[in-house]
Homo-oligomer: A and B are copies of this chain.
Amino acid sequence: MAQHVNSDPTASPESKRVPGVTVERLSIYSRVLAVLEKEGRDTASSSLLAERTPFTAAQIRRDLTWFGQFGTRGKGYPIAELRQKLNEILGVNVPRRVALIGVGNLGSALLGYTGFGEHNFQIVAAFDAEPKKVGTKTPQGIPIYAMRDLLRVVNAAEIEIAILAVPVEAAQKALDAVIEAGIRAVLNFAPAPLNAAPPVRLRNVDLSIELEGLTYYLAHESES
């Protein structure tokens, strides 16, 4: 298999399109590798990774080949190195600046969530429609701006990502505003089925929908 086109692991996945499902799994591989590294291992086979994830060994090997050849036959994958490469591929090796839109209940919880920082996401500005909050800072020391300052702050702070944590009725307007401000990546927590046209990437996290994905199987358990 003299196929070394992708021997540079940071090279783009050339000719063919990487399946979306593969990208989804990459983060999970990175997480599992972190755990294995902490356990003191230095290589991991695809079958070990399969044990720690809901995926099969063949699937994992196939996923990785989209980006290059990272393993050694007979041995497995070098954990630290593969993790580093996956983080590069995911674009999380460099810090990403994030704006939080909406400093209510959920927004406050997200600000208190330390996991973002651990994965190189920095919430550098918050925005709220409530005049009383504007001009103050969050308990974490992040300044709260008015929505009309969005464009200015996004440009000045080089913000790339917005997290929407606004009430559902404000969600569409907030989305329009962040796109208008030049943001290309949006994570929406408002329980509204928002849509955005490329090149904007929008991801919806609807907590009720997550639960409904579970109740379906509760309701149909007897049939399995």
Contact = CB atoms under 8 A, between A and B. Distances in A.
Interface string A1-30: 111111110111100000000011011101
Interface in A86-141: 89-92, 96, 98, 105-106, 108-110, 112-113, 115-116, 118-119, 121
Interface centre among A32, A108, A198, A221 (most CB of B within 10 A): A221
Given A195-B53, A223-B12, A214 B35 contact: no
Contact of A205 (B4, B210, B224): B210
Interface residues of A, number: 77
A215 interface: yes
A41 interface: no
Interface of A: 1-8, 10-13, 23-24, 26-28, 30-32, 35, 52-54, 89-92, 96, 98, 105-106, 108-110, 112-113, 115-116, 118-119, 121, 160-161, 168, 184-187, 191-193, 195, 198-199, 201, 203-221, 223-224
